[in-house]
Each structure stands twice: as structure tokens, then as C-alpha cells.
Structure 1
């Protein structure tokens, strides 16, 4: 299913955080949101999974305004991995993942064979099947992240909304997670701080700055030295990745954009 965000405005605490955003997450593609801290990425995503209500504009799921859908209906189509990740579940790993089946269950209904198979498959997808009986609170941050992603998979959604899903993961698990998202080929809207990961994983990028979308397109077209300076305030060169051919961004860690570069190394 396709997501269309039209003229979205979101404000809270008397401040406009997203101002007139327009963007598309095409069916079956990974669409990335990138931008500096405070640019509105998380706020925009929260409107997609209905944690926040926009002050203007709308979010369309396959042409239907999600605010016109019953919450249980939208939950069957859209699953989220937010940044506010619970750490106080006094539940086992398997029980946390099984929470993803809630939109499909009537009150007090027990598990059926489909639920059990779906939960087992989700745990296997994230490499946590051997930890099903462990307490969620006993896991590391990276393990919790993978369990919560499995919960989203267990929801069997058409659309995944992921806010910084690679946080707390080591390099190997970051690579595995992004490869898994590509293999799933679900419509995915994801925010990422790592621009090189975004360039590799995403089919299309939207760059946010001060609550507005300032650039959209394939990573190769969007991630330019001028964009790095405008949106992130850094000097950068964009070259070809020697292994994948994807855009590879090399940052100047010695001087921000607009400053004179230096070759000195201070000790």
C-alpha cells in the first residue's frame, strides 16, 4: 500500500514542528527520512502511525485518510517501531512479539495456530528465536530493538513505519536489519541518522529541514555536497562506494560548512 502525505502541519507546545510537508512512500519501496536533529522526522512519523494528530493536512493510506479509519483497521495495515521503546515489559520475548497480533484478536480470544506461526516467523526473521523464553527486561538495548521489530513484523502490516531502527545495534545487526527490510519489500517509511545507510537501503529519500521537505528523490540525486552544507551544515564529498556502487558520503570532520578547511591534527 502507498502512503501519501499532503500539506502536513503538526504543532504542539505552541510550536510548529512540521510545516506543509508533502511526500510519498511508494508501494513496496523503502522511503527514507533524513535531516538534522529537530527537523521534524519523528513528529512526521508519529502522525503516520496516529500517535499525533496533524493541525492541517492529511496522511493517506491507499487513498484513504487514516483519520477516517477505525484504529483497529489502521493497525492492521500500519505497524510502527517508534523511538519511545518500552523497557518495562514484565513479559517474555515471545509475549512481547505476540502483542503484534492484537489487531486481529477479539477481546479475551486466545492464540490460534496462525498466531503461533506468525510469532515464530517474526522471531526467526530478527534472529531472536532462541530467546523466546527470556524476560524482555533482561535483554540488551540491541536485543530489545530486534524484539520490538519482530512485534511489528508479527502485526503482518502492509506498511512499516520505523523511527531510527538501527539505534542500539552493532554494525553487523545494522546491516542485517537493513538487508531484511529490503528483502521484505513492504512499503516502508524509515528515519535514519546514518546517511550512508540511507543511501544504501532506501529507494527514495526526503530531506527535512526546519519542518519542511527541502529535497526528494533517489539517494544519488539527493545526497550532494551542496545539500550536506545546506541541511546539515557540514562539508562533504560524495563518491562511489567501492563495494556496492552506492553513493558514499565522506565528511570533513575538521571543519563545518563555510569554515576554512585545515590539515592540522591537534593532539
Structure 2
């Protein structure tokens, strides 16, 4: 299924956070949202999985306004892995993943063999099959992230919405998760701070800045040195990855895009002026 976002406006306390966003995620493609902190990425994704109601505009699922669906219908189509994980679950790992089957069950209905198979497969996909009996509260941050992703997989949605899914994961599990998303080829909306990960895994990128979509296209079309300077405030070169051929962004960690002066000079000037640290720290790589 395809997601289309039309003229989306979202506001908090009278302040506009997303302003007139037009973007889409094509069926079977991985569509990435990138942008500096506070650019509106998480807010936009929350409207897709119906955590927020937009002030104006629509989110369409293959032409149907998601707000016209019941919560159960929406949950059968869209599964989310938000940044905020909510409270700790006093449940086993397997029980947490089995929560993904809720949209398909009648109240108080018991798990059947199909549910058990789907849950087991989801745990295996994220490398947590051997931890099914552990308490969720005993897990590390990275392990919890993988369990919650398994819960989303167990939901068997048409659309995955993932907000910073590689947070808390070590390098190996980041690579495995991104490879799993590529292999699944399910319509996916994902926000990523790591621009090289975005360039590697995403078919299409939308760049947000101050609540506006400022660029859209393939990673090679979008992730240019000029955009790095304008949106992220950093100097960067874009080259071909020696192993994959994907765009690879090399950041200059000694200078920002504004003045070309050294990071040491910026730190000293910022300390004197009492301003924020080097803007290059906005980009997590």
C-alpha cells in the first residue's frame, strides 16, 4: 500500500511544527525522513500512525483517509516503532511481541498456532529468538528496540512507520536491521539521523527543515554538499561508497559550513558568546 501526505499542518500550543508538507511513500519502497533536530520528522510520523491529529491536511492509505478507519482497521494496516517506548512492560519478551497480534483477535481470544508461528518468526527476524522467556524489563536498550520491532513485524502491517529505529543498537545490529528492512520490501516510512544509513537503505528521501519539506528525491539527488551546508550547517563531500556504490557522505568535523574556521575556534567563540555548540554536532553519524 502507498502512503500520501497532502498539505499536512501540525501545531503544538499554537506553534506550527509541520507546515504544508506534501510527500509520499510508494508501495514496497523505503522512504526516509531526514533533517536536523526539531525539523518535524517525529511529529510528521506521529500523524501517520495516528498518535497525533493534524490541524489540516490528510494522510492517505492507498487513497483512503486514515482517519476514516477504525483503530483496529488502522492497526491492521500500519504498525509503528516510535522513539518513545512508553512504560516498562512487566511481561516476557514473547508476550510483548505477541501484543502485535491484538488487532486480529477477538477480546480474550486465545493465541492459536498461526499467531505462535508469526511471533516466533518475528523474534527470529530480529535475532531475539533465544530470549523469548526473558523479562522485557531485564533487556538492554538495544535489545528492547529489537523486541519492539519484532512486535511491529508480528502485526503484519502493510506499512511500517519507524522513528529512529537504529537508536540504542550497536553497529552490527544496525546493519542487520537495515538489511532486514531492505529484504522485506514493505512500504516503510523511517526517520534516521545517520545520513549514510539513510543513503544506503532508502529508495527515496524527504528532507525536513523547520517544519517544511525542502527537498525530495533519491538519496543521490538529495544528499548534496550544498544541502548539507544549507540544512545541516556542515561541510561535506559526497563520494561513492567503496563497497556498495551508494552515496557516502564525508563530513568535515573540523569546520562548519558557515565560516570554514576550525572547530576549536568555534568552541572558543561559542564559549565567549554563551551560544550553542558547533552545529556539526546536530548530525549524528
Is TM (by shorter chain) over 0.5? yes
What is the CA deviation profile of residues 226-266 of structure 1, one whole-angstrom value per residue up to 9, with x for unaligned ones? 00011101111111111110000011111111212449899
Distance (whole Å) between structure 2 residues aligned to residue 30 and residue 14 of structure 1? 32
Is the contact between residue 91 and residue 135 of structure 1 (CA under 8 Å) also seen in structure 2? Answer: yes
Determine the structure 1 residue equivalent to 2:130.
130
Distance (whole Å) between structure 1 residues aligned to residue 121 and residue 145 of structure 2? 17
Distance (whole Å) between structure 2 residues aligned to residue 210 and residue 111 of structure 1? 45
Question: What is the CA distance between 1:98 and its match in structure 2?
Answer: 0.3
- Secondary structure at the aligned position of 1:115 is classed as helix
Distance (whole Å) between structure 2 residues aligned to residue 108 and residue 145 of structure 1? 27
Is the contact between residue 96 and residue 147 of structure 1 (CA under 8 Å) also seen in structure 2? Answer: yes
Distance (whole Å) between structure 1 residues aligned to residue 116 and residue 196 of structure 2? 37
Question: What is the CA distance between 1:86 and its match in structure 2?
Answer: 3.0
- Secondary structure at the aligned position of 2:153 is classed as helix
Distance (whole Å) between structure 1 residues aligned to residue 255 and residue 13 of structure 2? 35
Distance (whole Å) between structure 1 residues aligned to residue 33 and residue 120 of structure 2? 30
Aligned residues: 266
Distance (whole Å) between structure 2 residues aligned to residue 200 and residue 132 of structure 1? 31
Determine the structure 1 residue equivalent to 2:280.
none
Determine the structure 1 residue equivalent to 2:273.
none
What is the CA deviation profile of residues 95-153 of structure 1, one whole-angstrom value per residue up to 9, with x for unaligned ones? 00000000001111110111000000000000100000000000000000000000000
Determine the structure 2 residue equivalent to 1:198.
198
- Secondary structure at the aligned position of 2:39 is classed as coil
Determine the structure 2 residue equivalent to 1:44.
44
- Greater shift, 84-93 or 163-172, is seen at 84-93
- Secondary structure at the aligned position of 1:150 is classed as helix
What is the CA deviation profile of residues 33-90 of structure 1, one whole-angstrom value per residue up to 9, with x for unaligned ones? 0000000000000000000000000000010000011110010000000001135100
Aligned CA RMSD, in angstroms, stands at 1.3
Distance 1:223 1:107, change over 3 A: same
**Please, what TM-score do these two structures have when normalized by structure 1?**
0.98
Q: Which runs of 5+ in 1 are unaligned?
A: none
Determine the structure 1 residue equivalent to 2:178.
178
- Greater shift, 243-252 or 79-88, is seen at 79-88
Is the contact between residue 45 and residue 163 of structure 1 (CA under 8 Å) also seen in structure 2? Answer: yes
Is the contact between residue 159 and residue 188 of structure 2 (CA under 8 Å) also seen in structure 1? Answer: yes
Is the contact between residue 87 and residue 136 of structure 1 (CA under 8 Å) also seen in structure 2? Answer: no
Distance (whole Å) between structure 2 residues aligned to residue 263 and residue 164 of structure 1? 27
Determine the structure 2 residue equivalent to 1:167.
167
Is the contact between residue 253 and residue 263 of structure 2 (CA under 8 Å) also seen in structure 1? Answer: no
Determine the structure 2 residue equivalent to 1:29.
29
- Secondary structure at the aligned position of 1:37 is classed as coil
Is the contact between residue 39 and residue 210 of structure 1 (CA under 8 Å) also seen in structure 2? Answer: yes
Determine the structure 2 residue equivalent to 1:189.
189
Determine the structure 2 residue equivalent to 1:14.
14
Q: Which runs of 5+ in 2 are unaligned?
A: 268-285
Distance (whole Å) between structure 2 residues aligned to residue 107 and residue 15 of structure 1? 40
Distance (whole Å) between structure 1 residues aligned to residue 237 and residue 262 of structure 2? 16
Distance (whole Å) between structure 2 residues aligned to residue 40 and residue 233 of structure 1? 17
